[in-house]
Amino acid sequence: MNAHDRIRCALHYIEQHLDEPVSLAMLAEKSMYAPHHFHHVFRGLVGEGVAEYQRRLKMQRAANALLYSNRQIIDIALQAEYGSQEAFTRAFKRWCGYTPKYYRKCSPEHEFISGETLMTTKHSLLKEHDLTVDVRNIPTIHVACLRYVGDYQGCGEVHEELCTWAGKQGLFENPPEFLGLCHDDPKTTPAEKCRYDACMVIPESFTVAKGADKKEIAGGRYATVTHKGSYETLYITYAALLGEWLPQSGEELQEAPSIQVYLNDIEKTPVDELLTEIRIALQ
């Protein structure tokens, strides 16, 4: 297991235990580093320390909660481990330049469109782009995956790496199903910090060889919509789903990465014919 694989274990643990105390000693043990080496390796590979990484993920989660839920700001502040709304407001403004109230109301520098605005202007992205949202029960899925951190526009490279790995494992005997897990909103997260997992569906019993991780994507209720066209315009479909459909639906999101299922082959399909199914986990 190389340094990247070891630190990936620590990153996954932090993400899965974001609301729990996580000690450097525990992370060092999980990533098989001596405690006095771990912090330096983590900062060198990730670009920030463990505390900074945790703090940023909590603030990004808070930003998404402001945009995509009706929760009270004090509840969001307490989840982010601030003892008062005032303390959270100061920290949030330092982080992005806006107060939580202004951020929720105006969505600065976001292509996010609120349901209230759409109803007021009589403009509907769902109708304009002929989008239909369905709520479906999706079974648990097992995948082999590779982590990518950076601008989502560059995540094609990690899919190429995954295909190379999969070819060596004989996973192309049957038509493969590819998908991506998007952990961050590029409008609330610096491009170079966005986390993405390139995934290939595998049988539950399949043993994932060195070079990739095995992950289980929980089954349950998902809001699904199919985007047609370039990946560069996916933000429009996300805006329609999260900014128009969700507020009107009465549904609440789970705190889980969005899933993009790639329904056709980018190498063989014209850009304007590409189909991507977006799945958002619901409570």
CB-based contact 178:277 (threshold 8 Å): no
- What is the per-residue pLDDT across 195-249, written as a single tens digit (0 to 9) for each? 999 999 999 999 998 889 999 999 999 999 999 999 989 988 988 888 778 878 8
Q: Average pLDDT of 130-152?
A: 95
Three-state DSSP at 26 gives helix
For domain 3-106, which CATH number applies: 1.20.200.10, 1.10.10.60, 1.10.287.130, 2.40.30.160? 1.10.10.60
Kindly report the CA angle at 77 between 75 and 81, in degrees rounded to 5?
A: 115
Antiparallel, parallel or unpaired: β 141-149 and 195-201: antiparallel
Q: Report residue 122's pLDDT band, with 50, 70 and 90 as the boundaries.
A: very low
Report which of residues 38 and 257 the model is more confident about.
Answer: 257
Domain with CATH 3.20.80.10 in the chain: 134-281
Q: Average pLDDT of 263-278?
A: 93
Domain with CATH 1.10.10.60 in the chain: 3-106
- What is the per-residue pLDDT across 50-106, written as a single tens digit (0 to 9) for each? 888 899 899 989 999 998 888 999 999 999 999 999 999 999 999 888 899 999 887
pLDDT, residue 93, reads 92
CATH homologous superfamily, domain 134-281: Regulatory factor, effector binding domain (3.20.80.10)
pLDDT, residue 117, reads 34
Is it the case that residue 169 has pLDDT exceeding 60? yes
247-278 burial code (b ≥16 CB/10 A, e <16)? beeeeebeebbbbbbbbeeeeeeeeeebebbb
* Model pTM score: 0.72
Q: Average pLDDT of 137-142?
A: 97
Rounded CA Rg of the chain: 20
Residue 52, Cβ neighbours under 10 Å: how many? 12
Report the C-alpha gap between 107 and 92 in whole angstroms: 14
Which positions ≥6 away from 166 have C-beta within 8 Å?
144, 172, 176, 200
pLDDT, residue 85, reads 94
pLDDT, residue 123, reads 61
